[in-house]
């Protein structure tokens, strides 16, 4: 049931039509860990922070079942910092500030205690770092999930193509799927991307849900229709955390179980957007998660007689 999570741990500063967050905790690995730890423990975290990263945050993660042996703390250097502003539709945003800081020259080191982990999720980071992690593992995990973004398609396409041949599941959003494949139709895009390496492709469409492609099969998971989306930051990472968390918990990597995992990911993402940053993820209980999953069943379940 062991799961390695690789990604950023950072500071975010977010502005939405609903307000300003101030400087809060963010980062892909942070969101994934807070989410996946509801399903499986320990989370074997791999990341890097500066000396400004609050010890209280590290303690809170440890208390949630997150192992921090693989989290490097760089003395006298600042953590990764991102500031962004969402537009009225909450689907588009402008990046105001990106300061890589300790992430700029991050060289991940996998602790011995993490070796033998069965699941690996590579959160959005440079493909080179992602490759380095895979290469350090003595036994290949049962399932490797990769998240990436358009930035790496534009600046490190060769490395990205290489890491695509090393993973099982790729997660991208619809725009990124189109950019990576050169195809507008998501079905055509999916077929092209599946020929690049991963056996499974998840295309995230934000408020419009997510598609899972595998061979000639396709599965669709909706997003929960919400009164308000308060802050979408980290929703994709939270989705990844729920997805891998469910798979690692059940140890079943069949296509059928991946469908369920995507619903779990969607349910977890629907919590994430209710407050700034990881605020809502820190509060939720197993009962909250079960109730939300029930809402998803209600949302898509129908009876039909196929004669």
Out of 1, 151, 187, 282, the residue judged to bind its own copies by CB under 8 A: 187
Can residue 216 be called a binding residue for its own copies (CB under 8 A)? no
Under rule CB under 8 A, residue 205 binds its own copies: yes
Among 1, 104, 185, 251, binds its own copies (CB under 8 A): 185
Nearer to its own copies, 87 or 140 (CB): 87
Q: Any contact of residue 139 with its own copies (CB under 8 A)?
A: no
Question: Considering CB under 8 A, how many residues would be counted as binding its own copies?
Answer: 42
- Judged by CB under 8 A, the residue of 94, 215, 228, 283 near its own copies is 228
Stretch that binds its own copies, among 127-135, 136-144, 164-172, 294-302 (CB under 8 A): 294-302
Contact residues for 19 (Cβ-Cβ < 8 A; gap 6+)? none
Smallest distance from its own copies to CB 271, Å: 16
Identify whether the C-beta of residue 88 lies closer than 8 Å to the C-beta of residue 18.
no
The residues near 97 (Cβ < 8 Å, ≥ 6 apart) are: 13, 81, 82, 83
Minimum CB–partner distance for residue 134 and its own copies (Å): 29
Q: Which DSSP helix (H) or strand (E) runs through 188? A: helix 186-194
Pairwise CA distance, residues 34 & 36, whole Å: 6
**Are the CB atoms for 235 and 190 separated by under 8 Å?**
no
Which C-beta is closer to its own copies: that of 23 or that of 217? 217
Q: Write b or e for each residue in 117-151: b if 16 or more Cβ atoms lie within 10 A of its Cβ, otherwise e.
A: bbbbbbbbbbbebbbbbbeebeeebebbbbbbbee
Binding residue (CB under 8 A) for its own copies from 211, 248, 268, 284: 211
* C-alpha distances in Å from residue 280, one per residue of 77, 161, 246: 29, 35, 19
**Residues of this chain that bind its own copies (CB under 8 A):** 88-89, 184-188, 205, 208-209, 211, 217-222, 225-229, 256, 259-260, 262-264, 290, 293-294, 296-304, 306-307
């Amino acid at each position: 049931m062991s799961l390695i999570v690789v990604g950023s741990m950072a500071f975010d500063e977010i502005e939405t039509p609903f307000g300003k967050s101030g400087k809060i905790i963010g980062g892909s690995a942070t969101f994934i860990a807070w989410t996946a730890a509801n399903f499986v423990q320990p989370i074997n975290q791999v990341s890097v922070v500066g000396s400004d990263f609050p010890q209280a945050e590290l303690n809170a993660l440890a208390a949630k079942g997150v192992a921090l042996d693989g989290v490097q703390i760089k003395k006298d250097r600042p953590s990764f910092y991102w500031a962004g502003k969402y537009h009225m539709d909450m689907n588009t945003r402008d990046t105001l500030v990106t300061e890589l800081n300790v992430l700029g020259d991050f060289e991940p080191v996998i602790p011995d205690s993490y070796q033998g982990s069965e699941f690996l999720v590579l959160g959005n980071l440079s493909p080179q770092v992602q490759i380095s992690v895979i290469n350090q593992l003595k036994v290949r995990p049962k399932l490797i999930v990769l998240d990436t973004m358009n930035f790496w398609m534009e600046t490190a396409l060769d490395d990205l193509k290489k890491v695509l041949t090393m993973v099982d599941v790729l997660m991208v959003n619809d725009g990124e799927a189109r950019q990576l494949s050169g195809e507008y139709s998501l079905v055509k895009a999916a077929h092209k991307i599946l020929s690049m390496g991963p056996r499974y492709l998840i295309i995230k469409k934000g408020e419009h849900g997510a598609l899972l492609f595998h061979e000639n099969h396709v599965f669709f998971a909706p997003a929960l229709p919400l009164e308000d989306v308060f802050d979408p930051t980290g929703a994709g990472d939270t989705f990844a955390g729920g997805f891998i968390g469910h798979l690692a918990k059940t140890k079943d990597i069949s296509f059928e179980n991946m469908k369920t995992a995507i619903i779990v990911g969607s349910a977890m993402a629907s919590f994430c957007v209710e407050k700034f940053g990881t605020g809502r993820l820190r509060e939720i209980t197993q009962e909250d998660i079960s109730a939300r999953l029930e809402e998803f069943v209600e949302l898509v379940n129908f009876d039909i007689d196929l004669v």
